[in-house]
Structure 1
Amino acid sequence: MCGIAATVRYGKRGPVDRDQLCAMRDGMRARGPDDEGLWVSANERVGLAHRRLSIIDLSPRGAQPMANGDGSLRVIYNGEIYNHQSLRDELEAQGYQFQSDSDTEVLLHLYAERGREMVHDLRGMYAFALWDAEREGLFAARDPYGIKPLYVADTGRTLHVASQVQALRSVDEVDTRKNPAGHVGYFLWGHVPEPHTLYEGIRAVPAGHTVWADPDGVQERPFASISEALADADPASQGTHSRTNGRASNGTPSTTDDEAVQEELRDALLDTVRHHLVADVDVGLFLSAGLDSATLTALASELTDRLRTVTLGFEAFRGTRQDEVSGAERLAERDEIAHPPEHPD
């Protein structure tokens, strides 16, 4: 988890306020306690700031904002690109030279090679903002699942970008009047439905969308939709039911098909867990003693011996059926994982 903040004066009016940009950045200190960075262009029309939580390439070479070799591209980024190594291999084969081992640098060279279409090659959870000096544009993107947060505030001549609403609230020119739709959503459902926030001038970039800001204005476009992908993958939507409730179309049991599906599911889960474990630090997992976390823990324990789990226990539930600690301890012991669950005092 990192924190990104950017300001671009696409309307060519006035310089970026460095103090304001630093305030946006430092308001997200909890997201990135390991390092901080700031860059403002020579004409002071764009600025990028970053709070870093080091996961891949813990050295200063992975610091952000990060630039390419000639300084024409600069990026700030929050997340992890799971296929960064394979992308790096492809880019190196095409002549790109890397100065770090970070997945951040992959974003720079991938953009140089494929432009804004780069998002179709990314596998991971991410939110980033990239400044293209030659095109005088800021390119921002959020992953298809919307795992990483990305918020924008467009004043009509300036675009502000940040990982948290709170960071944008600190900007004087941002409209922080109450957004009725955001408040209604919160009281109805217990959360603010995206793209709304609680404030009129701040909105979430929807999952699977990109933003481009240049002297012509700001454009937002979709590049991926999980709901559409699931609909396209549903045999029912294509009128082809080969099985129903574990039975073949002729009504006979389909044990072979069920076993094949289970094996395919296991392979898919192992593949995604393996990619999530890519890190230069130890990996932790929340173990609630439920089915989902127990499955992930078991799969992860097959792939690494560096896994640690943590469970939240509550004194009020100690010794009751609602207490998850004892079940989590048994699961951790079964998978031979370090697990220090404790009830709070």
Structure 2
Amino acid sequence: MCGIAGWVSYRSDLTAERDTLLAMTRTLAARGPDGEGLWADTHVALGHRRLAVIDPDGGAQPMSAMSNGRTVAVATYNGEIYNYRELRHELELAGHTFDTRSDTEVMLHAYLQWDVDFVSRLNGMYAIAIWDARTEELLLVRDRLGVKPLYYAPLPGGVLFGSEPKAILAHREFSARVTPEGLAGLLTNLRSPGYAPLRGLREVRPGHLVKVSRSGCTERRYWGLDAHDHSDDLGTTVSTVRSLLEDIVDRQVVADVPLCTLLSGGLDSSAITALAARTLDTPVRSYALDFTAPAGFVPDPVRTSADAPIAALMAGHLGAQHSTVELSAEQLAAQEVFDAVLRARDLPAWGDLDNSLYLLLDRVRQGATVALSGEAADELFGGYLWFHTPEAIGADTFPWFARLIDWTPQRGGSVLDPTFMWGVVLPTIRQQYEEALAEVPRLSSDSPAERRMREVSSMFLTRMLPEMLDRKDRISMAVGVEVRVPFCDHRLVDYVFNAPWALKTHDGREKSLLRSAVADLLPDVVAQRVKVPYPATQDPGYERAIRRRFAAIVADRNAPVRPLLDLAAAREALTRPVGQASMQHERLELERIVTMNDWLSRYGPELI
């Protein structure tokens, strides 16, 4: 698990550009606290920051493959190949020899054996850059679901690339520029495949590779959601999900450093923790999050129960070495935490949801380097409330934006300027919805209801999940923790995506398939627990802190986000009583504007 950066220029000699490459690579130091490596030739410069997880002594990068004393290919890579041991055996039978125990060397030899088709053989999460010295071409590869980030910026005669935008921004030939549509995307957390926040910056799409040559950049898809008939009955489907999960977790607990799970007490994280506990030789470590609050936890329509007590119960059931990280409003509202999260994400953050994740993972790093997490289960198995709300399913937009359908400048409901909201935000959402709808794989045999649920599932997996994965990767890597996401295994995604909706809800509830597949591993209170979103603080002290920062923005004529606001609506919002509902829409919007102002102030993008 690492950070990668690089530069290809067919017009320059990059052997003299060590300082530039070093500056790009060192922006990613938090992703790789255990080592740094640089490699350059005439037209290419590759950088690497390492977080040692597999073969700490032998997996240094960039890694070269040699033949007859000449460099054949060089790789810089971020991620984990979970089937590297099987691939290594296959390659050894084909005549390859290895000097290390690392998955990096296996990946590089797989490229030499199968060329670009090697990607179809990988099971893992990865962002890969391979320079082929024989052809003087660069190959950029991203994993199927987009777990690991990989950005690039085409230049005349070459390309820049990096794990995060900050690596590319460190180069003299790239400047920060943003469009109004880009700002709309940042405010709504909407991530289209290939989306990047700055003009001229692209993200390698999940399941795609990009080849860079003297003729430019070409992109090719090697994996994507596909529609096919599902002939398995309920019992077979449940048992297949279980066997897949067992194999996935068996692969993902392999590490040469301490490993743990992030345990919320919900179905997803409890299933992963239980499966890990069955595989590991020692008690599984687990971590949960909790908050201090004057009134304690108060159930609301969104969060009906607190995570921490049920996580502790689940940990006790498994005999786990469990820790609860408790955070106060003062910790969550600290400016240094907001600043750290902004540096990590390169994007406007999610307020206390991101701040609490940062503080949790910072604590995890004291006891573990690798953590298993439950991302993608809701998107894959139908866990979100939107999957089960007719109004959201029937809306002519992304289900999670259904409430915006009725928004008009006359009705209001936002502190954003109506012209910006009506003229930029809503059209941007509409355009991206139509693009997402056009990409959905379909079967002619689907009923209208099944067709719609396939569309909804596809949009969650291709439009919402990337934001969730990027958030988890960027914040975890900022503190040197590798987060693995078992539910993102492409074999499981392929299988469950095509299971009919009637099977996914066979017991009349959310995530029926997953619950049935793992119920025997869990206490009944966990197996039957209603879906609860990621926790948010209910301490009104945090909301007061956000309001103070928002009020300062409203009062500051030079605040960069101020032109996007409806100042009358903003001032009215500040007069309303502080609420205790943890998912109150207005608080979330104020948080988003505060963090957008921080992003505009720090990155200073030119608005074009």
The TM-score bracket by the shorter chain reads 0.7 to 0.9
Deviating beyond 4 angstroms after TM superposition, the runs of 4 or more aligned structure 1 residues are 317-322
Matches within 5 A, 1:227-266: 227-228=225-226, 231-232=227-228, 234-235=229-230, 257-266=233-242
State the secondary structure of the residue aligned to 2:178. Answer: coil
Taking the aligned partners of 1:292 and 1:154, their CA distance within structure 2 comes to 39
State the Cα deviation string for residues 78-113 of structure 1 (Å, max 9, x = none). Answer: 011111000000111111110000000011111111
Deviation at 1:191, TM superposition (A): 4.2
From 49, 52, 58, the counterpart of 2:50: 52
Counterpart residue identity of residue 328, structure 1: A
From 319, 323, 347, the counterpart of 1:336: 319
State the secondary structure of the residue aligned to 1:172. Answer: coil
Matches within 5 A, 1:181-330: 181-187=181-187, 189-225=188-224, 227-228=225-226, 231-232=227-228, 234-235=229-230, 257-306=233-282, 307-316=284-293, 318-321=296-299, 322-330=305-313
Taking the aligned partners of 2:28 and 2:40, their CA distance within structure 1 comes to 19
Deviation at 1:216, TM superposition (A): 2.3
Deviation at 1:68, TM superposition (A): 1.3
Match of residue 66 from structure 1: 63
Contact 2:7-2:160 at 8 Å conserved across structures: yes
Contact 2:63-2:105 at 8 Å conserved across structures: yes
Match of residue 180 from structure 2: 180
Contact 2:158-2:214 at 8 Å conserved across structures: no
Matches within 5 A, 1:103-142: 103-142=103-142
Note if 1:84 corresponds to 2:84.
yes
Contact 2:158-2:212 at 8 Å conserved across structures: no
State the Cα deviation string for residues 304-323 of structure 1 (Å, max 9, x = none). Answer: 14431111211128454553
> Higher relative CO (CA 8 A, sep ≥ 6), structure 1 or 2?
2
1:37 to 1:102, Cα distance in 2 relative to 1, 3 A:
same
Counterpart residue identity of residue 64, structure 1: Q
Contact 1:182-1:192 at 8 Å conserved across structures: no
State the secondary structure of the residue aligned to 1:135. Answer: coil
1:27 to 1:191, Cα distance in 2 relative to 1, 3 A:
farther
State the secondary structure of the residue aligned to 2:90. Answer: helix
State the secondary structure of the residue aligned to 2:48. Answer: strand
Matches within 5 A, 1:21-60: 21-41=21-41, 43=42, 45-59=43-57
Contact 1:66-1:105 at 8 Å conserved across structures: yes
Counterpart residue identity of residue 292, structure 1: D
Counterpart residue identity of residue 58, structure 1: P
State the secondary structure of the residue aligned to 2:242. Answer: helix
State the secondary structure of the residue aligned to 2:321. Answer: coil
More strand by share: 1
Taking the aligned partners of 2:111 and 2:83, their CA distance within structure 1 comes to 15
When the two chains are superposed, the root-mean-square deviation of aligned CA atoms in Å is 1.8
Unaligned runs of 5+ in 2: 300-304, 329-608
Taking the aligned partners of 1:145 and 1:305, their CA distance within structure 2 comes to 30
Taking the aligned partners of 1:330 and 1:173, their CA distance within structure 2 comes to 54
State the secondary structure of the residue aligned to 1:128. Answer: strand
Deviation at 1:157, TM superposition (A): 1.5
Contact 2:14-2:40 at 8 Å conserved across structures: no
State the secondary structure of the residue aligned to 1:284. Answer: strand
Taking the aligned partners of 1:305 and 1:336, their CA distance within structure 2 comes to 12
Taking the aligned partners of 2:9 and 2:154, their CA distance within structure 1 comes to 10
1:323 to 1:214, Cα distance in 2 relative to 1, 3 A:
same
Q: What is the TM-score of this pair, normalised by structure 2?
A: 0.50
Match of residue 252 from structure 1: none
Taking the aligned partners of 1:20 and 1:92, their CA distance within structure 2 comes to 38
More helix by share: 2
Aligned length: 317
Contact 1:308-1:338 at 8 Å conserved across structures: yes
Contact 1:176-1:202 at 8 Å conserved across structures: no
Contact 1:2-1:79 at 8 Å conserved across structures: yes
State the secondary structure of the residue aligned to 2:290. Answer: coil
Contact 2:59-2:100 at 8 Å conserved across structures: yes
State the secondary structure of the residue aligned to 2:236. Answer: helix
State the Cα deviation string for residues 293-345 of structure 1 (Å, max 9, x = none). Answer: 01111111111144311112111284545531111111111011111113135
Of 134-143 and 67-76, the range deviating more from structure 2: 67-76
Taking the aligned partners of 2:97 and 2:120, their CA distance within structure 1 comes to 22
Taking the aligned partners of 1:300 and 1:108, their CA distance within structure 2 comes to 29
Taking the aligned partners of 1:65 and 1:179, their CA distance within structure 2 comes to 35
Contact 1:175-1:202 at 8 Å conserved across structures: no
Contact 2:193-2:206 at 8 Å conserved across structures: no
Taking the aligned partners of 1:62 and 1:13, their CA distance within structure 2 comes to 30
Deviation at 1:276, TM superposition (A): 1.1
Counterpart residue identity of residue 223, structure 1: Y
1:105 to 1:291, Cα distance in 2 relative to 1, 3 A:
same
Contact 1:141-1:209 at 8 Å conserved across structures: yes
Counterpart residue identity of residue 13, structure 1: S
Q: Percent same amino acid among aligned pairs?
A: 38
Taking the aligned partners of 1:315 and 1:190, their CA distance within structure 2 comes to 28
